[in-house]
């Protein structure tokens, strides 16, 4: 069977769902193909359930902080309600209804199956062939990287999916990888009483962030009882039916092993060679309008511009406009915000100090410690955090910033705006910051800029 349609969207995660729904609303004949759950990684195994777990774990920690602030803590962690709440809606039947509500209801057609490109504008799924008059949009996301560590592939290791689906807690958990996913889940499990060890091959946690953020997050995790092993590369993994043994400059043992060393686009099975793309490439290269080839667009994680839901949605908006032939600004990645939802939250935007120096800018740096701000002093327990500003001293604008603290991701918003809109340092210095807020720490960091 061959069918002509306007647009075929391959993968209905956050990015694909947005593109497919909006183009269908515009009256185009759209077929959306998804082999898993419509909505993708974020609502079922990513952002949403992990933040539900984090919320529960942070409530526990806040309750423990009552001691010395407002009474005496007596907290018994109970994992069951969290695990139950996360699982309650993610069934296939319920998800079919999601597809109807969010996509089919807008005029699109939903096909459940695993699709692959078979030439420019052509996609096959389960023997059916769809030919797109206007566009094929690739939005198939990424899969976890499983490193080639001897023995690992024969063991029952966890990825983020099993870690989020777990109905019972193990006694111990070893986390391979000190990035955002590994650290968020490590802290949740530790706060629910699991003995957690984090192993990171590089010399610091969150290696893409500022060194100050790495130090901050490491001491927060250690305060939660997590053993942090940086500069340790795992070389072998074994499982004896009950326990994992990981060799990483010494032997480490744990009941469960979470592999969280990154994610990669899995282009081979997508048939990208049929449209002249490299199946082994780490990402699909797109231009500033998300174009990847003839009648071909790509959005989301698989473009390699940052594995964030907000990036997938941003790129989806650009692709939709371009496919509809509408004008609008091209992709601009100067002020990409990112948040690691540990406690303290590590928010950042734009360039780090090292990236700004590598770019040849005349860099000025301003640093403020949250505990010594008025709000930090008032907040007391759990007040750790920093504000770090990276300025281009020549143009007198911020090119990057870090906001780490109890609500680091929220405080980040005005810094993201400042970087995006190139608000001058003079303007930032002479505006009014509400007292006593955490964002007032930005004023302290501006003073430190010199
Ligand atoms: C634990 C964890 C926590 C996260 N937390 C955050 C967070 O707090 N904030 C944030 O911004 N981001 C977070 N992310 C990242 C976020 O989930 C992703 O950036 C987002 O889901 C990317 O959307 P996407 O549309 O590119 O891909 P996905 O959501 O991965 O969707 C791709 C879809 O394509 C489908 N697919 C793949 N191949 C095919 C095929 N051949 N045929 C049909 N369908 C196919 C897949 O089944 C999937 O549903 C987190 C990720 C993880 C793993």
Could you report the per-residue pLDDT of 341-392, keeping only the tens digit for each?
999 999 999 999 999 999 999 999 999 999 999 999 999 999 999 999 999 9
Beta carbon of 43 within 6 Å of any ligand 1 atom: no
Return d(Cα 152, Cα 245) in angstroms, integer.
Answer: 10
Q: Where are the alpha helices (DSSP H) in 330-440?
A: 353-358, 374-379, 408-421, 425-429
124-155 burial, b if ≥16 CB within 10 A, otherwise e? bbeeeebbbebbbbbbbbbebeeeebebbeeb
**How far apart, in whole angstroms, are the C-alpha atoms of residue 300 and residue 39?**
13
C-beta 158 within 6 A of ligand 1? no
At 44, which helix (H) or strand (E)? helix 41-45
Q: How confident is the model at residue 94 (pLDDT cuts 50, 70, 90)?
A: confident
Q: Which atom of ligand 1 lies at the shortest distance from residue 125's CA?
A: 42
Is the pLDDT at 269 greater than 90, yes or no?
yes
Find out whether the beta carbon of 11 lies less than 6 Å from any atom of ligand 1: yes
Q: Whose CA is nearest to atom 27 of ligand 1?
A: 141
Hey, what long-range contacts does 428-431 have (CB within 8 A, 24 or more apart)?
428/398
Residue 321 scores a pLDDT above 70: yes
Cα dihedral sign, 367-373-377-380: negative
Tell me the three state secondary structure of residue 109.
strand
pLDDT band for position 102 (50/70/90)?
Answer: confident
Tell me what the mean pLDDT of segment 92-115 comes to: 83
Q: What is residue 91's predicted lDDT score, i.e. its pLDDT?
A: 67
Q: Please, how many CA atoms are within 13 Å of residue 245, restricted to the half-sphere of its CB? A: 6
As a whole-number percent, the residues of the chain with pLDDT over 70 amount to 99
Mutation to probe ligand 1, out of 186, 260, 307 (largest number of atoms < 8 A from CB): 307
What is the value of pTM for the model shown? 0.96
The pLDDT mean for the chain works out to 96
Query: Could you report the per-residue pLDDT of 184-201, keeping only the tens digit for each?
Result: 999 999 999 999 999 999
pLDDT tens figures, 423-448: 999 999 999 999 999 999 999 999 99
Q: Judge if the beta carbon of residue 310 lies within 6 A of ligand 1.
A: yes
Ligand 1 atom with the shortest distance to the CA of 142? 30
List beta partners, residue 284: none
CA of 312 to the centre of ligand 1 (A): 9
For ligand 1, mutation pick of 15, 22, 47, 49 (most atoms within 8 Å of CB)? 47
Q: Does pLDDT of 243 surpass 80? A: yes
Q: Give yes or no for residue 337 CB within 6 A of ligand 1.
A: no
For the Cβ of 10 lying below 6 angstroms from any atom of ligand 1, the answer is: yes
Ligand 1 contacts CB of residue 259 (under 6 A): no
Residue 86: its pLDDT value, please?
Answer: 86
Ligand 1 close to Cβ of residue 144 (< 6 A): no
Q: Residue whose CA is closest, atom 15 of ligand 1?
A: 308
On the question of pLDDT at 62 being above 90, the answer is: yes
**What average pLDDT does this structure show over 226-242?**
98
pLDDT at 87: 77
Residue range 215-224: mean pLDDT, rounded: 98
For ligand 1, the distance from its centroid to the CA atom of residue 301, given in whole angstroms, is 7
């Amino acid at each position: 069977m061959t069918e002509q349609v306007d647009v075929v969207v391959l993968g209905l995660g956050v990015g694909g769902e947005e593109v497919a729904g909006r183009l269908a609303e515009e009256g185009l004949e759209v077929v959306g193909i998804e082999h898993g759950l419509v909505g993708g990684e974020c609502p079922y195994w990513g952002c949403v359930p992990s933040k539900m777990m984090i919320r529960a774990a942070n409530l526990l920690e806040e309750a423990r902080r009552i001691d010395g602030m407002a009474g005496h803590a007596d907290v018994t962690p109970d994992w069951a309600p969290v695990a139950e709440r996360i699982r309650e809606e993610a069934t296939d039947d319920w998800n079919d209804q999601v597809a109807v509500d969010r996509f089919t209801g807008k005029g699109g057609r939903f096909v459940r199956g695993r699709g692959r490109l078979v030439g420019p504008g052509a996609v096959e799924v389960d023997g059916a062939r769809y030919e797109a008059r206007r566009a094929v949009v690739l939005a198939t996301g990424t899969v976890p990287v499983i490193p080639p560590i001897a023995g690992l592939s024969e063991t029952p290791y966890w990825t983020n999916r099993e870690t989020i689906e777990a109905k019972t807690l193990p006694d111990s958990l070893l986390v391979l990888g000190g990035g955002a996913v590994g650290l968020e889940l490590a802290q949740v499990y530790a706060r629910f009483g699991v003995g957690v060890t984090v192993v990171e091959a590089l010399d610091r946690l969150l290696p893409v962030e500022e060194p100050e953020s790495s130090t901050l997050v490491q001491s927060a995790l250690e305060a939660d009882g997590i053993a942090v092993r940086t500069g340790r590369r795992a070389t072998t993994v074994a499982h004896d039916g009950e326990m994992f043994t990981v060799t990483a400059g010494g032997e480490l043992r744990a009941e469960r092993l979470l592999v969280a060393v990154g994610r990669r686009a899995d282009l081979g099975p997508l048939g990208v060679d049929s449209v002249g793309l490299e199946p082994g490439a780490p990402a699909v290269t797109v231009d500033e309008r998300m174009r990847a080839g003839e009648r071909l667009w790509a959005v989301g994680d698989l473009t390699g511009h940052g594995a964030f839901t907000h990036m997938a949605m941003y790129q989806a908006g650009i692709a939709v406009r371009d496919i509809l032939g509408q004008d609008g600004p091209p992709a601009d990645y100067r002020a990409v915000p990112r948040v690691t939802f540990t406690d303290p939250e590590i928010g950042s935007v734009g360039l780090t100090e090292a990236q700004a120096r590598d770019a040849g800018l005349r860099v000025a740096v301003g640093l403020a410690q949250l505990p010594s701000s008025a709000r930090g002093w008032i907040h007391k327990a759990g007040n750790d955090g920093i504000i770090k500003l990276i300025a281009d001293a020549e143009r007198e604008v911020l090119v990057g910033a870090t906001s780490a603290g109890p609500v680091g991701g929220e405080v980040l918003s005005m810094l993201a705006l400042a970087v995006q809109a190139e608000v001058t340092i003079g303007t930032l210095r002479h505006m009014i910051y509400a007292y006593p807020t955490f964002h007032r720490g930005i004023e302290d960091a501006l003073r430190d800029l010199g």
